[in-house]
Amino acid sequence: DGAARPIPMTTLLMNLRHVPDDEADEVRALLAEHGIGFYETPPSRWGISMGGIWLRDDTEAARARHLLAEYQAERARRMRAAYEERRRQGTAETLADSVRRQPLRVLAYAAIVGLILYLLITPFFGLAG
């Protein structure tokens, strides 16, 4: 058979920006468990690209996306239940905990919000005068 076979295309399954290590590990294990070929690109040195999990064969994309959707729904339920348990026990992080842990970050965010509000509201004071 002299017919040329199409070359499988790679498909980005998951961008790893803001993805916790344990979640990325679980997704890798899920893909391996179901025999779906994948590879990973590392994040760039300067944070422009955060890396990703790619499928080697785009014909597996629909199955992989379905598995990923089921996994993420189950993970969301699990994380929500864990948070509710921490809240019941009084160990869930609150805003006050965040302020105590990172006061400068909270202050910087508050300053940025204040600046944005100032820039948005200032033109209306000019209309009144």
Question: Which residue in this structure is represented by tokens 């969301």?
Answer: 76
pLDDT at 126: 78
pLDDT at 46: 82
Element (H, E) at 13: strand 11-15
pLDDT at 5: 66
Average confidence (pLDDT) per 10 residues, the chain, 129 residues:
68 92 96 96 83 92 96 97 94 90 94 96 80
- Write the secondary structure of 19-83 as one string of H (helix), E (strand) and C (coil): CCHHHHHHHHHHHHHCCCCEEEECCCCCCCCCCEEEECCHHHHHHHHHHHHHHHHHHHHHHHHHH
The per-residue pLDDT for range 41-56, each reduced to its tens digit, is: 988 888 788 899 999 9
Q: Which two tokens stand for residue 90?
A: 């009084």
